[in-house]
Amino acid sequence: MSRLALKMDAKDAMREALVSPYMVTIILGVITIVLSAVQGFLDIWQGMIDNAGAYGDIGQTGAFAASSVIFVIINIIISTIIQFGYQSYCLKVANRDNTMSYSDLFGSVRYFFKALGLLLMVSLLTFLWALLFIIPGIIAAYRYSQAIFVLVEDPSKGIMQCIRESKEMMVGHKWEFFVLELSFILWQLLGLVTCGLAFIYVYPYMKVTFANYYNAVKPKTVVYEEATVFE
């Protein structure tokens, strides 16, 4: 398949989107920045406790520990929801789906536990392969790279079914997808040198292109038209 065709179609789809991919990306970025800011505050708090040493307030230590645990849970929940939600939105953009909306960013709330389970299972399988050596771990990551798209397209599917379908559709396509990802490296560098501002364009461009790739490698559904037979 042509990388250029996938990218050109992604640009066209972004221009035609009923809901601006740039605004959705900004919302995603704001949420991410807020989570990072809270983590930064906790890091400062921990530093103050460490500097206090034996003279530190036990109540402060307990409050920090409780706050850290609560934030970790909240961070996991929000990060999982917006990760799957953003993928769902980008798939709708790629498909020219008129049902797209800003609420898509939080649409995975209804299957949150399945989404979290998928992330954990993919991470576990990739880690186990990585124990053999780095290369098998990287290959495994590409083997399961389409599992999120499988789930957001059909949330009724099970965790292992999503992983299995991703594994099947990536047979013979892992290197191809790696090269597609690599082709965005200059765009990513642009995002870094602009202090993240360029990512407002680059990030949805990448993700919609990857959604196009998913559509290209997934099994095609055959639709049989009803035929009238005259005797």
pLDDT in tens, the chain (231 residues): 688 999 999 999 999 999 999 999 999 999 999 999 999 999 998 888 878 765 556 777 888 889 999 999 999 999 999 999 999 999 999 999 999 999 999 999 999 999 999 999 999 999 999 998 888 899 999 999 999 999 999 999 999 999 999 999 999 999 999 999 999 999 999 999 998 899 999 999 999 999 999 999 998 764 444 444 443
CB contact set of 209 (below 8 Å; sequence gap of 6+):
6, 7, 10, 180, 184
Place of tokens 């949805």: 204
Single pTM value for the model: 0.88
**Structure confidence at residue 228 (pLDDT):** 42
Tokens of 121: 């299972």
Can you tell me the distance from the alpha carbon of 118 to that of 148, in angstroms, rounded to the nearest whole number? 8
Q: Could you give the 3-state DSSP secondary structure of residue 179?
A: helix
CB contact set of 205 (below 8 Å; sequence gap of 6+):
7, 10, 11, 14, 184, 187
Radius of gyration of the chain (CA): 21
Tokens of 172: 């013979």
Backbone phi, then psi, for 172, in 5-degree steps? 80, 5
